[in-house]
Every structure is written in structure tokens, then in C-alpha cells.
Amino acid sequence: MSTYAAADTTKQKLIQAAGALAAEVGLDNVSTRAVAEMSGENIGSIHYHFGGKDGLFEAVAQDAITGCAEKDFHAVIDELNETSTPADYAKAIRSIIAGEIEGLFCSDRPAWHSHVIYQLLQRDDVLYDLFRKNVLEPNMGQMCRLFQLIDPRLSEEEAFLHTTVMKMPIFAHANYSKAMQERLGVDAYSREYLQKLEDLLVKQALLVLGLPED
């Protein structure tokens, strides 16, 4: 293995360990010693590769947001315009909801990603700024554009409300997965359950927006 490949492997092991610990105990409660122990790496490697704990946490945040910074739904919305039909809008709503569920629950992304993202939203520092710039602003901008295409009478505030009402149940299933899965008596959401979640959210959104069933 080349020196570069070995270094990259070490960095990834540290990031994954720090992310998993952050999901369990919170970013502010993760120690470099615990990260080193979980990753099986020397504690000095954290300083060597990231310059210290702050640099490691920035790398953890960047890893967590990468999966939701480049959304396929941006392309879906970019294909719409003022001449799009209600059926086109309904199809886009389905595609966005299905994609969000697929990305969170049916991909190979680490489970800790969603928990760290939830924590980033609660912060007021460089980590939040990183998330806001790369995820919140572009994603919310695209979603508000979609709802205002569907109904030009909607204000920015109303379009924002539509976005949160449509997406928050999905995020809640990720952020509170342990409690929800315990309530359901399962170790993970089944495909059937996730399909029911998708169908319910799509039906709700189309009904509120006055769009035809897809």
C-alpha cells in the first residue's frame, strides 16, 4: 500500500470513529483519546492529519454533509418551469421524497451521518456555517423555488413551511431512529414501512398543493 493510500485510510478510520462517537455522545463530548482507541490509530495521528480536534470535527462534518450537499432533486427541479403541468409537479414531489428516504435509509452512508447533521443544526460555530453554506441554503432555495413554481402566490415563508412539513417526518425517522424502531419493535425500518412513509408524505403534499395523484 502506498504512503498516500495508507494516510487516506488512517484519516478515514479517524473520521468514522469520531463520527460514530459523536452520534452516541455528542460532538462536544468526544475526546481525541476515545477516537484513537476506537479507530485503532495513534492519538498523534489526529494532530498529524487534522491539526487537532477542531480540524478532525470539521472533517467529520464535511463527511456527513457530502451525502446531502449534492442532491439529485436539484436536477429534478431545474427541469421544471412555468409551463410544467400539475402532473410534472406531482412526479417531482414523488421523486424528491423517494430520493430523501433512499439516501437516508437505503444507501451505504454511515448511520452516524444523520445524527451528526442534526447536531450541526443546533450549533452556532464554524461547523454550522459549513452546513449552512453547503446544504441549507442551496437545498432550501431549490425547494422554495419548486413550491413557488407550483403556486406563485406563495411567499418565501409559506414555501419554507411547505418544505419543512414535507421533509421533517423523514428527518425525524433518521434522528430518532432508535426510539422509533424500539416503538415498532424492529431493528431497522423495513422496505414496506419506508414505502408507506413515502406514499403518505406524497399523498399529503399533493393534497395540500392541489395536485393530481401521481
Residue at grid coordinates 441549507: 136
Q: Could you tell me the three cell numbers for 158?
A: 409559506
- Decide if pLDDT at 7 tops 90: no
Residue 181 · residue 187 · CB < 8 Å? yes
Average pLDDT of the residues of the chain: 92
Integer CA distances (angstroms), 64 to 4, 58, 102, 192, 200, in order: 23, 10, 16, 26, 27
Give this prediction's pTM. Answer: 0.81
DSSP annotation string for 4-39: HHHHHHHHHHHHHHHHHHHHHH-GGG--HHHHHHHH
- Decide if pLDDT at 72 tops 80: no
* Res. 69 pLDDT band, cuts 50 70 90: low
Top pLDDT among 101 and 71 is at: 101
What pLDDT was estimated at residue 201?
Answer: 98
The two domains 3-64 and 67-209 share their CATH topology (first three levels equal): no
What pLDDT was estimated at residue 133?
Answer: 93
- Decide if pLDDT at 4 tops 80: no
- Decide if pLDDT at 68 tops 90: no
Q: Give mean pLDDT, residues 70-83.
A: 85
- Tell me which CATH homologous superfamily contains domain 3-64: Homeodomain-like (1.10.10.60)
Domain 67-209 in CATH 1.10.357.10? The answer is: yes
Residue 152 · residue 145 · CB < 8 Å? no
From 41-50, 102-111, 145-154, 204-213, the region with the lowest mean pLDDT: 102-111
- Decide if pLDDT at 3 tops 70: no
Q: For the chain, give every domain's residue range.
A: 3-64, 67-209
What pLDDT was estimated at residue 180?
Answer: 96
What pLDDT was estimated at residue 43?
Answer: 94
Q: Give mean pLDDT, residues 52-76.
A: 86
| DSSP conformation class of 212 | P
**Which of 200, 186, 179 has its CA nearest to residue 101?**
200
* Res. 70 pLDDT band, cuts 50 70 90: low
The percentage of the chain sitting over the pLDDT mark of 90, rounded to a whole number, equals 78
Q: How far apart are CA 12 and CA 49, in angstroms?
A: 10
Q: Give mean pLDDT, residues 198-206.
A: 98
Residue 97 · residue 202 · CB < 8 Å? yes
Dihedral, 203, 205, 211, 214 alpha carbons, nearest 10: -40
Q: How far apart are CA 162 and CA 64, in angstroms?
A: 25
Q: Which residues are within 8 A (CB) of 40 and not within 5 positions of it... i.e. 6 or more apart? A: 13
Q: How far apart are CA 18 and CA 59, in angstroms?
A: 10
